A and B are shown apart, each in its own frame.
Chain A
Amino acid sequence: MRTIIKTFSIIFVVFALTSCHKLDLNYNPVQPVTVPSSQRLPAIQANLAYSLYSQARFASYHSYYVTTRAGNSNAQTDTWNYNNINRMGAWRWHFFDVGSNIAGPAGMFIRAKEDGDNNYIGVGKILLALSYLSATDVFGDMPLEQAYNGTFNPVYDTQDKIYEGVDKMLSEGIVELQNVSSSARSMNATADLIYAGNYSKWIALAEGVRARMKLHTANFTNNYQDLLTTVNKALNGFDDAVFKYPGKSDLTYEKNLWGPSRPNPEWQFADIRNDLETSLPTDVFMKALTVDAATGVYDPRLYKLTTPGANKKYLGAKMSEGLRDLGLPSGTVYQDFANLNNGYWTADSSAYPYMIKEELYFIKAEALYYLNDLDGAWKSYRDGIQANMVRLGVDDGQVVNFMGSTKVVQDPSKLTVSDIMMQKWVALYLQAESWVDMRRYNYSKIAYPDLYYPKFALAEWGGRYIQRFVYDPQTEYVYNPKEIERLGAKVRDWVFNKLWWAEKSTLGK
């Protein structure tokens, strides 16, 4: 009995002591609340690559680069129906993974300001501007003024206001980088995976983003001269802004999202995983890259952007139809098409482009074209093609051959807008920016001679072309119904409503 009592007493005392805790323990002792900006920037840059991909994942189909093999099988890409999706990942990638990490309630800016690291603020603003621009170009109106202020039902700013905001962010970013404080934390290659802390390259990129933005509106604001100034500024000292993945890695998070491993990083949504595996190059793409169909001569970039199919044939599939296309030779199998995997942009180790130099050449070509400087436009057009071939690793001899072929305009006076736009389209393979161009030109044959209306787009769209993404159904439609109602985004055909710059566009007519 005595031992029992003794044991109990001891147990009780021990337990009573251990059961005493204070109430101030609602903080996670094993997670940080803040870290230096140099430990924030790499993930922001990685997330921006994911974010741009999340837009390109669908835009690549809407801009006719690729189509599903089965045809009439994917609601979004084949029938242009966005009504039954649960989530729109691109919304989150921009606002949270990129935006919130830069400017959110626990974003990099807070610590950067405290520490006086204005170089990180500068780079952050440029990245945020780039992210906002690409996001508004797929979504249209969205929160900017009231973003990150804690509200669940912010007012959506109109797209022209967002463009103003992007312009301002770029300017502010440039100012910060032109006046980097001597006490600011250094930015080296481990912190800045894009330019290794080279501020002048960041400034050039900022101008490049500004040029991209100005191009979208130049046609109706008649601002090509201004655009030209900007693009020249950008070209001066521009270096490709690409996010690089390691040459060899077995880890899913170290892979390009277009890669054949079909990686899905944390918080990736199933429907964003790339589907190149079961997609085919379109006939539009194949026509663009065919020099002479009869003799089987193709643009050498075809072999760089894609890899050969098992049957070494190069057929093109009709948009939304895939193998269902009755025009295909009978017995056609997917092996009769080029393999979309493991091309220059589609390998696990491919770099993901934020912005490449070719884009600036083509922006310049388009600006000069509309300024009626055909010689200048032609030169820039050729610069763009040449730069792209060199990037893709085409042999010098082949480059010379191709540059002299019928596929490239030889006489500046014969240069048309479709020459520029189609070559830009090839150069910006799988980038969402091509979808902007296509919508800017209203899917016009003037700029894109081989376009046609997809067979399996639903009849209820009435022959209209797709213009945008839906807002994230999981959150925006739930928390912000009034704003969604005001915008008119509740209808089944919301994605056929043109964005501001497409609505105002004078192009393609």
Chain B
Amino acid sequence: MLNMRNTLLFSLALGLVVTSVEAKTSKVSNSSNLAAATAYSSNRLVQNTVTGTVSDANGPMPGVTVSVVGASGSVRTDANGQFKITAALGATLRFSSVGYVSQDVKVAGNTLNVILKEDDNALEEVVVTALGIERNKKNLTYSVQNVSGDDLRASNQGNILNALQGQVAGAQISSSGGSPGLPTEIILRGSSTLTGDNQPLMIVDGIRVNNSSSNGTVNRVADINPADIEDISILKGAAAAALYGIDAASGAIIITTKKGKAGVMQVAGTYKAFVETMGRLPRQQQIYTTGTGGTYDESSGSSWGRKFRYDETIYNNVERFFQTALTHDANVNINGGSENLQYYMSGGYRKAGSMVPNTHQDKINFLIKGTAKLSSKLSVTASANYVQNNIQEGLGGASEGGWINSILRFPLKYDILQYEKPNGEPWYAYVEEGKERDARISPMWGVMRNPRNNDVDRFIVNGSIDYKPLDWLTLNYRLGQDYTSSRYRTVTTPGTPGTYFNGRVTESNSNSRYLTSTFNATMQKKFWNDFNFSLILGANSDYYESRGPAYTGEVFLVPDIFSPNVIERNGILLTESLPRRQRYAVYGDFNVSYKNLVTLGVTGRNDWTSTLSPQHRQFYSPSYSGSFTYSELINPDQWYGKLRLSYAKVGKDAPIYKTNTNLKQVATVGGGFVVDATGGNPDLKPERTAEFEIGTELGFLNRRLNVDLTYYQRESIDMIMTPRVPTPSGFVIMTFNAGSLRNKGVEASVNAIPFKTQDFTWSTTVNAWKNTSKMLKFAGDIVRFPYTNAQLNAGKASSALDEHVLGISGTDYKRTEEGYMVIDANGYPEMDKVEKTIGNREPEFNIGWLNKFSYKGFDLSFMWDFRFGGDILNASRQGMMSTGIAYDIGQWRDKEFVFNGVVAQSDGSYIKNEKPVVLNYSYFANNYYQVGTNFVEKVNWARVRHITLNYSLPNSFATRLGVKRLGLELSAQNPFVITNYSGGDPEVNSAGPNAGGAGGASTMGVDNGAIPLPRSFSFGVNISL
């Protein structure tokens, strides 16, 4: 019934508007029969069509919105700048386009040609902020950075987080390696916790989406198709994200997808092909063969043997392992609609290969989105996004990473490509009679025969209703669900040496959903001409649930079917998990601005969460912010200057089910139940983050030069961690409030258009940032906290009290006060037992530099990425050293050497060491690779993330081919990197983000068998119909 009434109201309203127009222009009217008159005059008006062309200085402009002022609905100009709209004589048409000054023109005939002027003073730029609220950038009181969909796409990355690299000041983005199934981590303004998730909240079109990376697989936001993205807003600070309350501690990333635009239907498609090859690889020695302690020993997996003889083949296994792969990526989208109903539809298909053999991705995206304007007061938007993302990976690592360690350490006397017999059985490189279980086999066997698969079906639905009962009041209700069905499977083929020699299959399934329901009432009103008030009151419910069975099956009865159906009956272990979480929140946002001069904002949010005990489960998060546009006081037309200031304190809840202890079934003889290794902690308190931010925005030369500077200081208090704990407590892992840390830093963003003529434009953006962190407090007696998933013998990723949060701990040599190495009586350096900080994994300084050139139909963009400092713990090299295959071993082994150090004398004095020693196996094994400082490298890099050249064929040519637009694209991703790093690619993050449970937090800067980033080249075509 309601629907009908609305339709009725809608037509009545339309009728009234039309009538009043009609009354002025025509004398024909019969006021006694309103309905008849309405019908009559509408009929007449429909026939009054206005056509014309909109152009700018360069010629016809497509995509300009043309609307009748005072009426609803609009059309857009086509590729030739032409439009067609119905409007009465005397009505006003409004022509608007982003970056141009809108123009109102009165209808005086049937044709109308308009020239739009470019708006150099893009002052009315609108940005999306928390809860999807669009705010005028001019009145913004905190730092928000925007990345346009086009800039994102220019990088040609499948994972949108990788595409953000260098585009956001203050975002530390590091991928776990060059394989499509590996996760990428994004940290805004430094690490906020030592274990668990440091990553910002991910919002797509107003609803929270899943960005987990369970089992070390790809982070789920990578499911979103970059082709559908309109833009991304990065809310870096707590104040910007304060309205999100919980989870806002690490900032928020607000992704807005494209939506339909009224006008002629537009169809566009792109196809891209990528060729991927290996990037920078670690080096190996090619001098010594298999053995131990200098003698040849075939049974040894080490390369500590004698020298290769001239007649022996040396296989360059690392290079032989990686391959060249092809990726296809195709996208189509359709967009259009009428004045009251707009739609956007898109489909994408990506079939990606990888330089890692037996690794590929199949991804399908389908998005449909529509907006219906039911009346001038009511509109609904709905979207549905389906994603299928199936990834198979040959290299399935452990939770600690170590993806290619087995390849790096495989002796060079064997050919890595020889791994199976012609009949498909394993070909063992070395095997002892009856001990196949402990045989040595090429890592290629595992890659080809024991891949891991992660198949995801995902369905994101989102509906929103907007009701504007009054001029100044908008009510919005939004409901969305992100449903992910994931299947993760690993297989061990029978015959694979190791524990699961008889075969094993594990699978974990989860059907998870995030259900977000939000109600917002927005009031906006202008008082006394100069004061703008806005008040938002809202409430939110956020439910998460993941349900699914998992099984592990050992011993295949039929060796080539990898299913529980052929697993020996009692070899199957079946488990089920069901995490759930409910959060509620109410919040308010009050904002007042005076002219364009001063803006003040206050927000408050109260959260209730199920993951904490009742006494701790609710908390309040306030924020206060203000901005002052001081340029308004002096020559506001000449420049732009604004000061921003904000403070916020937000809370965060605990992981699910960490307040009590469960029992779990155990796989031992006799069975029964044991205490879950993760103990419950009913005393958990919410984690708090307090952040202060000050910044300024400056604009000069008609805003052709813009500078944004920000300083922030963020303190994370009572951070919640879930690390390993001492077992005398009764548990192995526990969640507790473990301490406090601080991040502070500066961010600068400069964008400029240094050169601009009619044909040629050069625009450039530089993002530079620096973050410094400090561990302020630890619970109990802790002073140094190593991360579980990055403890690599001599060095550990760790945090130490009063030092950098992303540190490296380890041992050094004994040194005198002056810093000289102390050499023992035998001539070898003495080791120090004391573990100390030997590195800081956080870069000292980062710069992302994006350049865009456009000349006639050509567009060229490239992104430089510079990183200064930031230590890498090179565990890959350490591993290669221990097996004698590292490059340095080849350089130094068995050479005579005099250590540069001093020898202690009995009287306490020191003399210079002059004793020559031989750098033999014992030295490397018992001395060199036990010392952490030997494996920490301070790394700088300069790299080009992407170069993309686009050429749009002339319109005349395109038309001849029957299309509106035809573009060609050549692009290179990660084409080169210049670095002092001794290993492979220096962008390393071994265990990825939120390595989970007992895992540590960020393993950024830990190279533990990381798969180096590939280098790829692509060719693309895009067509608009």
Which A residues form the contact surface with B (CB < 8 A)?
1-2, 4-6, 8-9, 11-12, 15-16, 18-35, 39-47, 69-73, 75, 79, 81, 83-84, 86, 91-92, 94-97, 99-101, 104-107, 142-143, 146-148, 150-154, 190, 193, 243-246, 250-254, 260-267, 277-278, 310, 323-324, 334, 456, 458-460, 472, 474-483, 490-492
In-complex Cβ contact of B782 among A32, A92, A264, A479 (8 A): A479
Report the minimal beta-carbon distance from A408 to chain B, rounded to whole angstroms: 35
Q: How far is the CA of A456 from the CA of B671 in the complex (A)?
A: 43
A106 and B517 contact, CB distance less than 8 A: no
B834 contacts A106, C-beta separation under 8 Å: no
Given A46-B666, A153-B780, A261-B501, 18 extra CB contacts under 8 A = A12-B465, A15-B515, A18-B515, A19-B543, A47-B674, A75-B926, A86-B796, A92-B727, A95-B727, A105-B731, A106-B679, A148-B729, A152-B781, A251-B568, A251-B667, A324-B293, A456-B922, A475-B724
Q: Is there an interface contact between A71 and B656, defined as CB atoms closer than 8 Å?
A: no
Report chain A residues within 8 Å CB of B670. 42-43, 45-46, 190, 193
Q: Are B781 and A482 in contact (CB under 8 A)?
A: yes
Residues B834 and A154 in contact, CB atoms below 8 Å apart? no
Are A23 and B660 within 8 A (Cβ)?
Answer: no
> A26 contacts which chain B residues (CB < 8 A)?
581, 610-613, 656-657, 659-660
Main secondary structure of the interface of A (DSSP, over half): loop
B29-37, B83-91, B433-441 - interface stretch: B433-441
Q: Which residues on the B side are within 8 Å of A143 (C-beta)?
A: 728
Contacts of A310 in B (CB 8 A): 433
Partner of A100, one of B675, B793, B922: B675
- Within the complex, which residue of A1, A152, A477, A479 is in contact with B7, where a contact is CB–CB below 8 Å? A1
Q: Say whether B732 contacts A96, CB under 8 Å.
A: yes
Contact of A277 with B668 at beta-carbon distance under 8 Å, contacts A19-B517, A23-B582 already known: no
Q: A40-B673, A252-B554 are in contact. Are A265 and B668 (CB under 8 A)?
A: yes
Closest A residue to B796 using CB positions: A86
Contacts of B729 in A (CB 8 A): 148, 150-152, 154
Is A474 touching B786 in the complex (CB atoms < 8 A)?
Answer: yes
User: What's the Cα separation between A146 and B726 when bound, in Å?
Assistant: 12
- Residues of chain B within 8 A of A474, CB atoms compared: 724, 786, 788, 791
Q: How far is the CA of A70 from the CA of B922 in the complex (A)?
A: 13
Q: A46-B669, A154-B728 are in contact. Are A30 and B786 (CB under 8 A)?
A: no
Contacts of B674 in A (CB 8 A): 40, 43-44, 47, 97, 101
Query: Within 8 Å of chain A (Cβ to Cβ): is B315?
Result: no
Q: How far is the CA of A496 from the CA of B732 in the complex (A)?
A: 28
Given contacts A253-B669, A478-B784, contact A148 B724 (CB under 8 A): no
Assembled-state Cα–Cα distance A147/B727 (Å): 9
- The reply to whether A96 and B731 contact each other, CB–CB distance below 8 Å, is yes
How many angstroms from the CA of A243 to the CA of B578 in the assembled complex? 35
Tell which of B267-275, B569-577, B946-954 binds the partner.
B569-577
A2 pairs with B4, CB closer than 8 A: yes
Asked whether, in the complex, the Cβ of A251 is within 8 Å of the Cβ of B660, the reply is no
How many of B's residues come within 8 Å of A, CB to CB?
107
Query: How many angstroms between the C-alpha atoms of A62 and B301 in the bound complex?
Result: 25
**B725 contacts chain A at the CB level, 8 A cutoff:** yes
When A23-B609, A29-B578, A91-B727 are in contact, do A15 and B554 touch as well, CB less than 8 Å?
Answer: no
A77 to chain B, nearest CB (A): 13
In the complex, the answer to whether B669 meets A245 with C-beta atoms within 8 Å is yes
Bitwise interface map of B from 522 to 554 toward A, beta carbon under 8 Å scored 1, else 0 = 000000000000000000010100000000001
Given contacts A5-B3, A26-B610, contact A254 B479 (CB under 8 A): no
Q: Report B's interface with A, CB cutoff 8 A.
A: 3-4, 6-7, 292-293, 297, 299-300, 372, 374, 380, 382, 433, 435, 437-438, 461, 463, 465, 477, 479, 481, 499-502, 515, 517, 541, 543, 554-555, 568, 570-571, 576-582, 584, 608-614, 617, 656-657, 659-664, 666-677, 679, 724-732, 779-786, 788, 791, 793-794, 796, 811, 824, 826, 831, 833-835, 921-922, 925-926, 930
- Chain B residue, CB-CB nearest to A245: B669
A-B contact pairs, 13 of them (CB 8 A): A25-B582, A29-B580, A35-B663, A40-B672, A94-B727, A100-B675, A190-B670, A459-B826, A460-B824, A475-B726, A479-B781, A481-B784, A492-B831
Q: Are B555 and A43 in contact, with the CB atoms below 8 A? A: no
How long is the Cα–Cα vector from A243 to B834 in the complex, in angstroms?
41
CA of A322 to CA of B435, assembled, Å: 19
B348 CB, nearest partner CB in chain A, Å: 25
- A352 shortest CB reach to chain B, Å: 10
**Contacts A5-B380, A42-B671, A96-B732; is A480 near B726 (CB within 8 Å)?**
yes
Task: Determine the chain B residues whose CB is within 8 A of the CB of A459 once the complex forms.
Answer: 826
Which residue from chain A places its CB closest to the CB of B515 in the assembled complex? Answer: A19
**One of A6, A79, A147, A154 near B3 (C-beta < 8 A):** A6
Shortest distance from the beta carbon of B733 to any chain A beta carbon, whole Å: 10
Kindly provide the distance from the CB of A268 to the nearest chain B CB, expressed in whole angstroms: 9
A92 to B656, CA, bound (A): 25
**A45, A96, A143, A190: residue with the most chain B Cβ atoms closer than 10 Å:** A96
Residues on B with beta carbons closer than 8 Å to the beta carbon of A253:
667-669
Which residues on the A side are within 8 Å of B726 (C-beta)? Answer: 95, 152-154, 472, 475-476, 479-480
| Closest CB in chain A relative to B793 CB, distance in Å | 5
Is A152 a contact of B659 with CB atoms below 8 Å? no
Asked whether, in the complex, the Cβ of B731 is within 8 Å of the Cβ of A100, the reply is yes
Residues of B within 8 A of A86 (CB): 791, 793, 796
Among B433, B481, B794, the residue within 8 A (CB) of A15 is B481
A278, A334, A479 — most chain B CB neighbours (10 Å):
A479
Chain A residues, CB < 8 A from B568: 250-251
**Across the interface, do B663 and A32 meet the contact criterion of CB distance under 8 Å?**
yes
Q: A475-B727, A492-B831 are in contact. Are A33 and B554 (CB under 8 A)?
A: no
> Is B730 in contact with A479, judged by CB distance below 8 angstroms?
no
Q: Complex Cα distance A324/B668, Å?
A: 39
Give Cα distance in the complex from A16 to B433, angstroms.
66
Q: How far is the CA of A281 from the CA of B846 in the complex (A)?
A: 57
Q: Assess the B664–A481 pair: CB atoms within 8 A.
A: no
Q: A9 vs B3: C-alpha distance in the bound complex, in angstroms? A: 10
Task: Report Cα–Cα, A175/B555, bound state, in Å.
Answer: 46
User: Which residues from chain A contact B614 at a C-beta distance below 8 Å?
Assistant: 24
| Contacting pair B610 A24 (CB below 8 A) | yes
- Shortest distance between the CB of B379 and any CB in chain A (Å): 11
Which chain A residue shows the least CB distance to B568?
A250
List chain B residues, Cβ under 8 A from A250. 502, 554-555, 568, 571
- Max chain A C-beta neighbours (<10 A), residue from B499, B671, B729: B729
**Residues of B with C-beta under 8 A to A278:** 299, 438
**Within 8 Å CB of B380, what residues of A?**
4-5, 8
Bound form: Cα–Cα A193–B382 in Å: 62
Provide the residues of chain B in CB contact with A97, threshold 8 Å. Answer: 674
Residues of B within 8 A of A5 (CB): 3, 6, 374, 380
Closest to B480 in A: A15
Q: A26-B611, A148-B730 are in contact. Are A262 and B661 (CB under 8 A)?
A: no
Complex contacts, A83 vs chain B, CB 8 Å: 811, 833, 930
- How distant is the Cα of A129 from the Cα of B791 in the complex, in angstroms? 33
The contact of A32 among B374, B571, B662, by CB within 8 Å, is B662
Best-buried of A11, A20, A105, A152 by chain B (most CB within 10 Å): A152
* Residues in A neighbouring B7, C-beta threshold 8 A: 1-2
> Most chain-A Cβ atoms within 10 A of its Cβ — which of B481, B614, B670, B926?
B670
Q: Distance in Å from the Cβ of A106 to the closest Cβ of chain B?
A: 5
Residue of A nearest to B798 (CB): A478
Q: Given A30-B578, A253-B667, A472-B727, check contact A478 B785 (CB 8 Å).
A: yes
B922 touches A72 (CB 8 A): yes
A151 and B438 CA atoms in complex are apart in Å by 42
Find chain B residues with CB under 8 A from A9 CB: 3
Query: What distance in Å separates the Cβ of A99 from its nearest Cβ neighbour in chain B?
Result: 8
Q: A86-B791, A474-B786 are in contact. Are A28 and B578 (CB under 8 A)?
A: yes
In the complex, the 5 A-B pairs of residues with the closest C-beta atoms, listed nearest first: A42-B670, A104-B730, A46-B668, A95-B727, A31-B662
Residue in contact with B372 in the complex, picked from A4, A79, A95, A479, CB distance below 8 Å? A4
